């Protein structure tokens, strides 16, 4: 039997960090340096603010750039940085449940590539999150006490 955490998860985790760097990096740079085009192409021209300002697109770009930076660190510190995957699981799930699904039910347009990518990520993220590492309790760890005696 395959032990997912020992054999598959570390490789998949590295792949997810690299995918974050490439995909979120592209979107972040696009949103930060070309916010009007990003608003048009990523958000289908929908203004994120009442006055048509691109500031919201740039804020989203900063968020995705933070994910890129943490993912870069994750290549060197894979377990310590894996909390970024929990963050992604939460915000992508919220987007799908609270934004995309209601919009689709009301026959409104959603950014299809982003929505599809988010759905794939939500399916993969639980497989790469080291749940025990992130959320274990020190009280539950049974370790031998360290002897202070020198022999």
Is the pLDDT confidence value at 119 over 70?
yes
60-67 mean pLDDT = 95
Count: domains in the chain = 1
Query: Domain limits at 32?
Result: 4-138
Using the predicted structure, report yes or no on whether residue 1 has a pLDDT greater than 50: no
C-alpha distance across the termini of the chain, in Å: 43
Tell whether 146 is covered by a domain: no
Q: Is residue 2 predicted with pLDDT exceeding 60?
A: no
- Asked whether residue 39 is domain-assigned, the answer is yes
Q: How many helices (H) and strands (E) does the chain have?
A: 8, 0
What is the mean pLDDT of the segment spanning 81-86? 96
Whether the CA torsion 67, 101, 134, 79 is positive or negative: it is negative
Q: What is the pTM of this model?
A: 0.80
Q: Is the pLDDT of residue 75 over 70?
A: yes
- Residue 147 clears pLDDT 70, i.e. is over it: no
Q: Is residue 147 part of a domain?
A: no
Neighbours of 45 (CB within 10 A): 9
State the pLDDT confidence band at 151, using cuts at 50, 70 and 90: very low
pLDDT-based confidence at 109, cuts 50/70/90?
confident
Residue 44 counted as domain residue: yes
- What pLDDT is stored for residue 98 in this prediction? 96
pLDDT of residue 22: 96
Q: What is the pLDDT of residue 40?
A: 79
Q: Is residue 149, in this structure, part of any structural domain at all?
A: no
Structural domain includes residue 109: yes
Instruction: Tell me if 151 is assigned to some domain.
Output: no
Residue 29 has pLDDT above 70, yes or no: yes
Flag whether 10 is in a domain: yes
């Amino acid at each position: 039997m395959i032990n997912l955490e020992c054999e598959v998860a570390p490789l998949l985790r590295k792949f997810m960090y690299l995918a974050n760097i490439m995909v979120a990096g592209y979107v972040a740079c696009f949103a930060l340096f070309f916010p009007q085009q990003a608003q048009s192409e990523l958000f289908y021209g929908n203004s994120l603010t009442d006055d048509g300002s691109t500031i919201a697109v740039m804020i989203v770009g900063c968020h995705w750039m933070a994910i890129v930076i943490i993912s870069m660190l994750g290549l060197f510190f894979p377990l310590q940085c894996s909390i970024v995957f929990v963050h992604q699981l939460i915000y992508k799930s919220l987007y799908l449940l609270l934004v995309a699904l209601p919009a689709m039910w009301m026959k409104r347009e959603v950014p299809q590539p982003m929505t599809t990518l988010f759905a794939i990520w939500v399916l993969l993220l639980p497989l790469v999150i080291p749940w025990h590492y992130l959320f274990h309790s020190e009280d539950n760890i049974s370790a031998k006490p360290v002897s202070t005696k020198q022999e």
